[in-house]
Amino acid sequence: MKNTFVSLCLLASIAAFTGCSNAGESQAAGEVVAGIPVKNTVTLVDLGAKTCIPCKMMAPILEELKEEYKGRAEVIFIDVWDKANDGKAQAFKVMSIPTQVVFDRQGKEVFRHVGFLEKKAIKEQLDPLLAVQ
């Protein structure tokens, strides 16, 4: 697991310095990876792993937020250690997990946090963005 994390950090560093994008996926303007951020929608992306302890602590918070913000904002979890998500950590320039990234309706990144983030702090980022039309 340590080797995987070191590899992830190394790849993220290379991507950050070389301008590497999202491993060839087609994407619209403003998208980091295909479909993210969600067009015309406030989007919270949590990049982590199902086996990382702080990420496990985030999981129930993300599920609660998905329900609370259903139809108003998108809450997306990406397991960066899952082979199906190869390249996504690099695309988001993730250096450590968990990393939470918030995008406004226009697809602009407006907030980034590394580590566990409590529900109240996330809501403090999402609510003002939802108030703006």
9 is catalytic: no
CA separation, residue 12 to residues 16, 57, 83, 107, 126 (Å): 6, 23, 15, 21, 26
Pick the catalytic residue: 49, 55, 58, 122?
55
- Domains of the chain: which residue ranges? 2-131
Q: Tell me the whole-structure pTM to 2 decimals.
A: 0.78
Right CATH for 2-131 from 3.30.420.40, 3.40.1360.10, 3.40.50.170, 3.40.30.10? 3.40.30.10
| pLDDT < 50 positions in the chain | 4-27
- The pLDDT, as a whole number, for residue 57 is 97
52 is catalytic: yes
Q: Cβ of 110: how many Cβ atoms within 10 Å?
A: 13
- Residue 79: both structure tokens together: 């397991």
Position of tokens 């937020």?
A: 65
pLDDT at 29 (0 to 100) = 53
The one catalytic residue among 52, 62, 75, 80: 52
